[in-house]
Chain A
Amino acid sequence: HFFPNVSSIPPSLLPNITAGAWDSFNNLSGCHLGQKVPGISKLKNYFHYFGYIGNISKNFTDDYDDALETAVKNYQLNFNLNATGELDESTVKQILKPRCGVADIVNGSSTMNSGKAASMTGHTVAH
């Protein structure tokens, strides 16, 4: 759908385009390690898609486990948020934003903030 400006969008189209693909993540705000919440598995798929969770298994559970906490921390580092590992409001707000489909972490390495932080602590080599 192409429009020269917003006012040219037909009103009949507007009600159908307000629900984003990831709106359900709103329900996960406040979740943290150790919890089991419906919808966590979908969030794990999100983090898997963008390179934050490895390709160990794509049959993700709804458990907020160590892998998810690490993924959330790395995401927070990359997006300049407090790296708490918890799904605080600002993290969820960032996750909900539309974005590029290219992964942030490719083949387990990144030179975004999380990769630099890991390199400085000796976990990996940036390049």
Chain B
Amino acid sequence: YSFFPGTPRWPRSRRDLTYAFEPRNQLTDDVKRVFTNAFARWSEWTPLTFTESNNYNTADLKIGFYGGNHGDGEDFDGVLGTLAHAFAPPRGLLHLDSDETWIIDDVFASGSPSAMDLESVAVHEIGHLLGLGHSSVEDAIMFPTISSGIRKVELARDDVEGIQVLYGTNPDSNSTTGPSFGEREMSGAH
């Protein structure tokens, strides 16, 4: 695991974070639910909580789909290439490329070379929102690349160790080690 320069993180006074979706995207509940699941992957291991807010302007974390030049100096490049990006704390911006073909349910029966699993990318980008950089551990969520048709949503030990350096463990977890790494969900057609 790695951190951004200066190891930015959400302060102790802001551990119950709110998130909201770009209103102009008019996302369906099915799409929003993907992000709810993705946030839960991180809250499972940390004291952080994530609650959806209807107020985009005041939310800690702002999620939106954009194409090409969308005003932050980090243009998207169309199909494939860069899929998404997010900014370190406390900016809280998570942007996804609206030109991609996003699969929100079942990615396993892949017949398209460019369909990307939305939850896999969302879990990765939330890691950046929380302060993690990229990892060289291939199994880790924070590994920078993901192939089309792949679903990779469970945190690896490397991810958990990194995020717990920043925020500590989940006080509500029943065990000292947290959920098992033995039943990881990572599969796909490729």
Known: A2-B102, A102-B133, A106-B4. A20 touches B80 (CB 8 A): yes
| Contact of A2 with B31 in the complex, beta carbons under 8 Å | yes
1/0 per position for A58-77, CB-CB distance to B under 8 A?
Answer: 00000000000000000001
Complex contacts, A110 vs chain B, CB 8 Å: 2, 133-134
Stretch at the interface among A6-14, A26-34, A83-91: A6-14
Q: Which of A5, A19, A115 has the most chain B CB within a 10 Å cutoff?
A: A5
B107 to chain A, nearest CB (A): 7
Inter-subunit contact A98/B112 (CB<8 Å): no
Q: Which residues of B are found within 8 Å of A104, using beta-carbon distances? A: 133-134, 144
Which A residues between 13 and 63 are near B, CB-CB below 8 angstroms?
13-14, 16-22, 50
Q: Sample 16 A-B pairs with CB under 8 A, ordered by A number.
A: A3-B101, A4-B104, A5-B106, A5-B107, A6-B106, A6-B107, A17-B114, A18-B114, A19-B79, A98-B81, A98-B116, A98-B145, A100-B124, A109-B5, A111-B1, A111-B133
Which residues on B are within 8 Å of A, measured CB to CB? 1-5, 28, 30-31, 74, 76-86, 98-107, 109-116, 118, 121, 124-125, 128, 133-136, 138, 144-149
